[in-house]
A and B are shown apart, each in its own frame.
Chain A
Amino acid sequence: MLEKVLFLLCLTPALAQEPCFPGSSHAYKVRISIKTALGNQAYVWNDNEMYLFRAAMAFALRSYHNGQEFNVSNIMVCNETPRVSFWFVVSSPENSSVLLKKGDVENAIRKSRNRINGAFLLTDQTLEFIDIPPTLAAPVMPVTPPWLIVFGVVMGAVGAGIIFLLVSSLVQSKRKKNKKTLDEDREDMRGIENGLGCDNLGGVYNTTFSDGDKFTPM
């Protein structure tokens, strides 16, 4: 009888310790990197911080399982290292020997991840739950791609420039053509003085005073 009582007495603490061990099918590993996240403003990890963690976990589970009142005592922690990493398991509030499945714990943590991070001033990368990948932020994509805007500006400017240059060269060539015909008219007019053509006077046209150009085109 006494041996049975002793055996049971020894077994219960063992049972109580048994749920939380590394690699358990119900346990999650947590790794916290305070110095990486906060540098000079890092706080020291101590039992109070651990209490806050357990409270945060309880909060997450409460918000996920509406109605079930999880307490700090339902969150059991073990295998703490100086790295600041540890394992934890969650027991059900109704029956403390029943441990919660990993899937439920994971969903609860995912839902309140930001709040948990915020409580510790950490991020998804510095407060790691091993095997719970953080939901990644989608890449920032503006509504209109900016490159299209710049492209439009550049092409607009270049197009306007091309049109301007083409039009100005057309105008210039037209002006040159007009000037040329004007010059030719002026040359034709040179031989006529006082409205009379030289040949009308009956004289001989003296080639000394006229431009030789007419006779020796280049």
Chain B
Amino acid sequence: MRLLLPNPGLDDRIHSYEDLERMDKEEAEDRPKWDNKAQYILTCVGFCIGIGNVWRFPYLCQSHGGGAFLIPYLILLVLEGMPLLLMEFAIGQRLRKGSVGVWRAINPYLTGIGIASMLVSLLIGLYYNTLIAWIMWYLFNSFQDPLPWTQCPLNENRTGYVPECQQSSTVDYYFYRVTLNTSASITDSGGLHWPVVVCLLAAWTVIGICYIRGISTSGKAVYVTALLPYVVLAIFLIRGLTLKGAMTGVKFLFTPNLMNPTTWLDAGAQVFYAFSLAWGGLISFSSYNPVHNNCKQDAIILSAVTGFTSIYAATVTYTIIGFRATEKYEQCISENIRTLLNAFGVPENSITTSNYDEAFLHLNSSHPDTILGLDIKICDMHKLLSEGVEGTGLAFIVFTEAITKMPGSPAWAVLFFVMLLCLGLSTLFGNIEGVVVPLKDLGVFPKKWPQEALTGVTCVVAFIFTLLFAQHSGLYWLTLFDNFAGSVPLLSIGFFEMIAVVYIYGVDRFNEDIKFMIGHKPNIFWQASWRIISPLIILIILVFYLVTQTQQQLTYLVWDPDSEEFPTLASIPYPPWINAVIFLLAGIPSLAMPLYALCRLIFVRVPATSQLTSAVHLQVLPQNL
């Protein structure tokens, strides 16, 4: 495929090979540099492995049925994830600029891709750090025994618990009422909830200090934030496997369901998000590498590590989920036994867990009316294993409940939330890199400002924006951002990136670059995937996503103590003005590239032609001396 769009002036915008060699030998570049290769790899691993690996991947794996999901996931990891990864690594290493600089160098009309990456990184960073703030709140509150989410407050006359807590559960109450003070709808903002504000302040300060000098400080922080989660996961794995019911959970995770066409779609989307592609952070990070760094090896290593970690985290998560489900199941059965014993007045040990089923059948056949009046709950293990196992529900409700049932709960709670904190922080480093460096390249900040000032200003401004999530309706705003800011825009940016590199920069030039950097051309697998396979996969996923999103009714789940389905979350439609917000979140970043190209075409092209001719003259003169 020799399709190549005309791209004049490309050589003037990028370093030539001689320049690169010279910069490499003399180390004359003024860009920051990695202290060693390990720092770079750990930063990328930390960036890719985030909270989603703990609470998104295991849910997908289980809902599509373990084995049936892993195969599409691993196939798409290789066909879609790895080529895009190598492409971002190589282009960053070759052009040695952040995401805006890279696309501007390839063609000034493509700067919109970089701007889109920056906007997406900013929007995702805002709500991601709110999650970090919530995690910090739980972490700060884990240093006490008993844990605060094991207790319900009493009502006024001390005869019972607060009804909201009584009807749901202590963990639900603690999350929705104490931590967030959730209102009943997104329109009901209800003012700021100060514990969240305080934790947001803590979260942005921690990010600020870790990134205060750019990668020279964050590169040191990743030694902890990227490695500690693996250690904690190992501890949890050992603890989890010794718990009762762990293997039930793991079996449930890996038992295949019927093959669903959406399995491939979900697997593809998950691979895309897992690799943090199109955020711009990876391009920035690899631009700090030495010129001859073996980026192909890095891409393969990173893909393998991400795949392995996803499965590893999923296994650990499901041992804990299996334990919790078993505990709840046994509790349910015990309660039913108690009800039966009390109603029929039979001695205590006549009905036990082992003969519960026969006893129940016997009693049901002999006294059906009494049984009906008793309100015996149906104890469904399958339902218990499937409930609340995604997203915030997993971390703050299911896991916290499971931890309270383990001996030594505060220690386990601290470990768990420290792990989540590290996972989140290391992803945020890449995120903030994808925001600060493009802003610097675009000239939003004055050139004289040191890195500390850039980080400081970014963190302060972002803190003010995240106060949106500190409102009582913050949870609903966060879910909105999660659903719309991070899905369609990333896919469209990824698609444009591939098209830009393959058909505007030129895949032949790209191959030559890689040959220059690592010594050999990428083989037929990479060629086929860059030119056809990966763009096609992304396009298919994008189209299906758009189709399903537009067909869906815009509803969301609310915590409403006055609703009939309480404690189950009620589903209510969004208010009509939400469409404008969704357009801002998803539409603007996706359309940034065509919009910028159009604007440049209209406003910059005509006066630029005269500038271009004079620029050419200036370039020619010194060489003639």
Task: Please report A residues at the B interface, Cβ cutoff 8 Å.
Answer: 31, 33-36, 81-85, 133, 135-136, 138-140, 142, 146-151, 154-155, 158-159, 161-162, 165-166, 169, 173
Contacts and interface: CB of A to CB of B under 8 A. Distances in A.
A95 B408 CA distance: 57
A155 B204 CA distance: 11
10 contacts: A81-B345, A84-B348, A135-B159, A138-B158, A139-B151, A139-B153, A147-B137, A150-B139, A154-B202, A155-B201
A169 B342 contact: no
A82 B452 contact: no
Given A135-B158, A158-B206, A146 B143 contact: yes
B499 interface: no
B160 interface: yes
A42 B316 CA distance: 39
Majority DSSP secondary structure for residues of A touching B? helix
Contact of B144 (A136, A142, A155): A142
Interface stretch (B208-216, B363-371, B521-529, B576-584): B208-216
Nearest to A134: B159
A84 B347 CA distance: 7
B346 A165 contact: no
Interface of B: 137, 139-141, 143-144, 146, 151-154, 158-161, 198-199, 201-202, 205-206, 208-209, 212-213, 217, 341-342, 344-349, 450, 452
A150 B345 contact: no
B158 A146 contact: no
Contact of B160 (A136, A146, A150, A169): A136
B151 to A, nearest CB: 4
Given A151-B140, A169-B213, A136 B158 contact: yes
A136 B348 contact: no
A83 B345 contact: yes
Given A159-B205, A162-B205, A83 B346 contact: yes
B208 A162 contact: yes
B342 A83 contact: yes
Given A136-B158, A136-B160, A165-B212, A151 B198 contact: yes
A34 B341 CA distance: 13
Contacts of B208: 162
A104 B348 CA distance: 31
A147 B217 contact: no
B348 A155 contact: no
Nearest to B349: A35
Nearest to B198: A151
Contacts of A135: 158-159
Given A84-B348, A140-B146, A146 B141 contact: yes
